[in-house]
Amino acid sequence: MNTHPCSESSSRRGWIVIGVTFVTLGLAYGIWYSYSVFLVAFLREFGWSRSLVAGAFSVFALVHGCMSPIAGWVGSKAGPRRLIMMGGCALGCGLLLVSLMREWWHLYLAFGVIAAIGVGAAGWVPSVLIVRGWFPDRVGTALGIASAGSGVGIFGMVPFAQFLCDRIGWRWAFRVLAALTVGFIFPAVFCLVRDPPRHEEIGSASRPRSDQRSLNGGVYWTLFAAVRDWRFWGLGGVAILGNLGPQMLLVHQVAYLVDHGISLAVAAAVAGLVGLVSIAGKMGWGIFSDRTSRELAYTLAFACFSASLGVLVVAGRYPGSGLAYVYAVLVSLGYSATAPLMPASASDLYGGPRFSTIFGTLHIGNSLGTAAGAWIAGQVFDWTQSYAGALWVAFASAVLAPTLLWIVAPRRPHPPPAK
């Protein structure tokens, strides 16, 4: 993947950017998915209902989603590098404040709002902008490699968070995570990362086909034009449905396994394995989609996710069978496809100089699905004392999401309307 046909230094810079982005995403989203561990700790210490504790994560997801179009706009104006540095500081501040909480609304404010703003500014949207800018000719592959960092983060951070909770308590665990976040993200991005060159500077030889088409004659996709296109809303629907089921499980999986007689340490290890497998999943689905189609890759991924739901139910009935680890592999292969394929599909359809704002707006769908999934599962459990109904909702979303992507058909992009 060459970033500039005539510059080896530009290529090296692009790979450095991917490396730093890899670790930054690992920290940000490792903390995101560590909430499944802290959820159990909060339930035990405060005695709150599951819907209340899960609701903080839903607020987190919604605020994160609202940050996405802002992050896309700011990233296109000021550059994603500055945005990521500010986000790392905000995330660390939010985690520190969580360690001081005494009431439920403290959790909602510190984690649900402040930490969410930090992840929104340092996380996926600016990372997509910076990686896509350095590797415009192989978007799916580059994003697959960079997004695998979140898998490493889940693999390392979830068991690490459980270890910290066991040794020093959940309050000090949040303080340690805050120090790690700020201690890496700000200096690493400041010293090693540079904003990507503009497509016009890269040259037409490395410009993706969608960008070439959108720039011909000065006609390109804008946010106003995109929201009048039915496929924009279809892709938003894919984002909602594709995140609802997987995020539901990733937030509640530790609690589910503990409820069914599996030890907290094993449940945390299962959550970590989800992250480990997703490393290969994100890279693999990104490369596979570049060579085949986004639709086929997405469909196969959600077939794996659907299978994971059945395995999870059986694992709950036989807690000593080791099936929880099989579940971890399958759910990871399923959810990991969403990271590279959604921005790649958006790039296929709406590539061009206004992509950052369009993608940032579309990313709200990811957060809506995440928020809905976490809250629905908690509410269903509070009503029925079981996650069974929530698992059926997850299965329905797993069937509908790839079906809708085939209808949207990113394999057949069309030009924007003439100005």
Summarize pLDDT for 210-259 with one digit per residue, the tens.
444 444 455 688 889 999 999 999 999 999 999 999 989 988 898 899 99
Record the tokens describing residue 65, joined without a space: 């989603």
pLDDT at 334 exceeding the cut of 80: yes
Distance, in Å, from the CA atom of 116 to the CA atom of 96, rounded to the nearest integer, reads: 13
**Residue-level pLDDT at 312:** 95
**Residue-level pLDDT at 205:** 35
Higher pLDDT, 411 or 387: 387
**Residue-level pLDDT at 360:** 82
**Residue-level pLDDT at 419:** 58
pLDDT tens digits for range 17-27: 888 999 999 99
**Residue-level pLDDT at 212:** 42
Q: According to the 3-state scheme, what is the secondary structure of 266-331?
A: HHHHHHHHHHHHHHHHHHHHHHHHHHCCHHHHHHHHHHHHHHHHHHHHHHHHCCCCCHHHHHHHHH
222-230 LR contacts (CB < 8 Å, sep 24+) = 222/354, 222/358, 222/416, 223/354, 223/357, 223/358, 223/361, 225/416, 225/417, 226/350, 226/358, 226/361, 227/361, 228/417
Domain ranges of the chain: 9-195+219-408
Per-residue DSSP letter, 385: S
pLDDT at 297 exceeding the cut of 90: yes
Per-residue confidence at 7, pLDDT binned at 50, 70, 90? low
Class of domain 9-195+219-408: mainly alpha
**Residue-level pLDDT at 380:** 93
DSSP string, 179-202: HHHHHHHHHHHHHH--PPPPHHHH
pLDDT tens digits for range 55-94: 898 899 889 888 888 888 888 888 888 999 999 999 999 9
pLDDT at 36 exceeding the cut of 90: no
Per-residue confidence at 208, pLDDT binned at 50, 70, 90? very low
Distance, in Å, from the CA atom of 174 to the CA atom of 171, rounded to the nearest integer, reads: 5
**Residue-level pLDDT at 136:** 74
Q: Contact, 26 vs 153, CB < 8 A?
A: yes
Higher pLDDT, 336 or 89: 89
Distance, in Å, from the CA atom of 288 to the CA atom of 361, rounded to the nearest integer, reads: 26
Query: Residue 195, Cβ neighbours under 10 Å: how many?
Result: 18
pLDDT at 276 exceeding the cut of 90: no
Q: Contact, 49 vs 264, CB < 8 A?
A: no
Distance, in Å, from the CA atom of 400 to the CA atom of 302, rounded to the nearest integer, reads: 10
User: Which of 137-146, 213-222, 243-252, 397-406 has the highest average model confidence (pLDDT)?
Assistant: 397-406
pLDDT at 4 exceeding the cut of 60: no
Read off the pTM. 0.73
pLDDT at 186 exceeding the cut of 90: yes
Q: Contact, 191 vs 334, CB < 8 A?
A: no
